[in-house]
Amino acid sequence: MKGDFEVFPMIHRIGILTSGGDSPGMNCAIRAVVRAGLSYGLEVYGIYDGYKGMVEGNIVKLDRKSVSDIVNRGGTVLRTARLKEFKEVSVREKAVGQLKKFGIEAIVVIGGDGSYMGAKRLTEMGINCVGLPGTIDNDIASTDYTIGFDTCLNTICDCVDKIRDTTESHSRCSIIEVMGNHCGDLALFSGLAEGAEMIITPDHPIPEEEIMRTLKQMHDSDDNKRAIVIVSEKLYPNIYEFAERVQKETGFDTRADILGHVQRGGAPSAFDRILASRMGAYAVDCLLEGKGGICIGMVNNKIVDYDIYDALALPRDKHVSMLRLIDILK
Ligand code: ADP
C-alpha cells in the first residue's frame, strides 16, 4: 500500500492534535503519525491546544526532528485544551477556515469520547478525521486498551505499594481513591494487581452497610489487621468523611488518600508506547485510504477501525470474569 500512495497520494497535508485530558503515550502517537505521514510523502502539521488551537490557527509544520526524543515523555508536546464552544457549527466553521488556509485536508485527533465527537462533526463538514483513544480511563468500548491506561495503572500500583508499607506497619485501613472518570477499570485492574481487600467501582458498587460489616470482621479477626480498599473517583462526595465513618464503625484506624494528578503523568510504559505507535501509523493508513469519521482500536491484539458513532454506542466491557477472579482470590 505504501508504494501506491508514495506515487499518487490522495491527500498531501494532514494535521495532528491532542484534545481533552492528557495521557502518557500521546507523544508516541504524535510521533507515529508524523513519521508515518512523512514516510508516505505527506506534509504534517501540528495543531497546538486541541480544537482551540485549530480555531485560532495555532498550527505549525512538523518535520522528523520535531518529534525526536519524545517517545519517553509523558503529557503531550502539542499541549491539550477543552473548548466546549466547538459543539457550535459557527465555531467549527472558523476551524475549517483555518485548516483551509493551511491546506490541511485531513486530521488525526488523539483524545477521549468528547474529542471523537468533535472529529465526527468535522468529518461531516468535509475534513476527514481519524480518532485515536488517548485517555488514562480506558472508557472507550471500541478498544481493549486506551493509550495511557497501562502507564496509569502502573503508577497507581507504585503508589499503592508505598501506601501498603505504612498501612501494614500501623495495622490500618487505607482507602485509596483512583481516577477513571465514570469507568471503574483503573480501580478494578489496580485492585486485582494489588490484591486489595475491597474494590468499589461504578460497575461494582458495594452498599455501605456491607462495607462496614466486612471491614469490621477483618478488623476483629486476629490474623488480618490491615486492609487496602480501592475506590473509583466520583463515588463518594468526600472520601475523607467516608474514612472517618469507616474508622468509627469498624474500629480500624483508617486513612484516605486521593492519588490525584500523579496518575496522569510519567514516562509511558512500553505497552503504551507500542500501542500508540501501532495506532498512529494505522490512522495515517486510514486517511490515505480516504476514510474519515472513524476511530482506531485494538481488539484481541489486532488494530481495527470503527465508525465513531458505532464506537460510542458500543456497550463497555464490565470485566465480569475479573470481578469473579477477585472474589476467588480473596
Ligand atoms: P475527552 O476527549 O477526553 O473526552 P472532552 O469530553 O472534554 O474530553 O472533549 C474534548 C473536546 O472535544 C471538548 O472540549 C470539545 O472541544 C470537543 N467536543 C466534545 N464534545 C463535542 C461535540 N458533541 N461536538 C463537537 N465537539 C465536541
Q: What is the DSSP string of 167-191?
A: HHHTT-EEEEEE--TT--HHHHHHH
From 150-159, 216-225, 240-249, 309-318, the region with the lowest mean pLDDT: 216-225
Q: What is the mean pLDDT of the chain?
A: 95
User: Of the residues 22, 49, 113, 137, which is catalytic?
Assistant: 137
Residue 2's pLDDT band, with cuts at 50, 70 and 90, is very low
76 pLDDT higher than 90 = yes
Please work out whether the CB of residue 111 comes within 6 Å of at least one atom of ligand 1. yes
Catalytic (active site) residue 49: no
How high is the pLDDT of residue 10? Answer: 86
Per DSSP bridges, beta strands 128-133 and 106-111 are: parallel
Residue 1's pLDDT band, with cuts at 50, 70 and 90, is very low
How high is the pLDDT of residue 239? Answer: 98
* Ligand 1 atom, smallest distance to 135 CA: 3
- Segment 34-54 shows an average pLDDT of 98
- Cell digits for 252? 480500624
228 pLDDT higher than 50 = yes
Please work out whether the CB of residue 112 comes within 6 Å of at least one atom of ligand 1. yes
304 phi and psi, to 5 degrees?
A: -135, 165
How high is the pLDDT of residue 327? Answer: 84
- Show the domains of the chain with their CATH numbers: 13-148+268-313 (3.40.50.450), 152-264 (3.40.50.460)
- Segment 163-174 shows an average pLDDT of 96
3 pLDDT higher than 70 = no
Whether residue 229 contacts residue 173, with contact meaning beta carbons closer than 8 Å, is answered with yes
How high is the pLDDT of residue 9? Answer: 58
219 pLDDT higher than 50 = yes
How high is the pLDDT of residue 7? Answer: 45
How high is the pLDDT of residue 326? Answer: 86
Beta strands in 20-172 (DSSP E): 43-47, 59-62, 106-111, 128-133
Residue 87's pLDDT band, with cuts at 50, 70 and 90, is very high
pTM: 0.96
273 phi and psi, to 5 degrees?
A: -65, -45
Please work out whether the CB of residue 115 comes within 6 Å of at least one atom of ligand 1. yes
Please work out whether the CB of residue 142 comes within 6 Å of at least one atom of ligand 1. no
What's CA 239's distance to the chain center, in Å? 23
- Segment 200-224 shows an average pLDDT of 92
How high is the pLDDT of residue 24? Answer: 98
